[in-house]
Structure formats: C-alpha cells, structure tokens
Amino acid sequence: MSKPIYILNGPNLNRLGTREPQIYGSTTLAEVEVLCRQAADGREVIFRQSNREYELVDWIHEAIDEGAAIVINPAAYSFTSIAILDALKMFPGPIVELHISNIHQREPHYHKSYVSLAATAVIAGLGPQGYAVAVRAAIDLASR
C-alpha cells in the first residue's frame, strides 16, 4: 500500500466559511476536506488543522516517516515560522504550499513565505478549489 498524502492546515483555517468570506469564500474546512478526498481518488489522505505551531511541526515529523507528500496551507505561519520551514526541509518527498488567496495581491507582509523556500510547488489564488489542484499535483509529484 502506498504512503498517505498529508494535508496540513494552519491557524484560523478552522474558521473557513465565516472568516473574511470576501477573501476566503464561504467554503468550510469540512467541505475542503471532502474536495481533497475526492481529488485523491482513493489514495489515503491524512487531513489536519491546528492553530498551534508545534502541532504542525509534529505532524510534519510524522509525515517525514510515514507520508508520500505534503500539501500545506500554513496560513499566517507562512510568513513567521522558521520552525515549520526547518521541519519541511527534512521531508524527502514533494511539498505543495497552498494559499486560498493570491498572497502577492495582498498587503506586503504576505508577500514573503518562508515555507516557499522548502516547497516543491506553490499554488495561490485559486480559492478552496486550489486544494484539489494541490492534491492532484502532490500525487503526481510523489509518483515520479
């Protein structure tokens, strides 16, 4: 059996659907999970969300040992977390960084992502549907 795809979500993404819908839309995180599982087409998915940086680092460590690929929407930690960057740099497989909004059209503090330094690919601005694109890309990259 193949290794799972880890889909990790950072702070405040548990509030999708109600948090700034003009930026993030009305799709909930539960609906995003369904999109991801559909895009995985039967491949095992481990889907998680945390507002805690250390928990995301622990899950990345788990993925180092058990995962085929990581799709990560680190949210605000994209721009602040050297700890997440350092953990991702240890991951041997593909990493797809995902942002619901186009971070490059937003305020300047959203333009520099530490996570991008470790990412194999970056997807931004496709809305919640970007998750499905990211999962398919991660599976494709992992199978190469």
Active site residues: 24, 99
d(CA 69, CA 130): 16
Helix ranges restricted to H, 17-114: 21-24, 29-40, 53-66, 82-89
**Which residues are CB-neighbours of 101 under 8 A, at least 6 positions away?**
23, 24, 124, 125
Q: Is 13 helix (H, G, I), strand (E, B) or coil?
A: helix
Angle formed at CA 40 by CA 16 and CA 19, multiple of 5 degrees: 5
Structure tokens at 97: 């960084």
Phi, psi of 93 (to 5 degrees): -105, -170
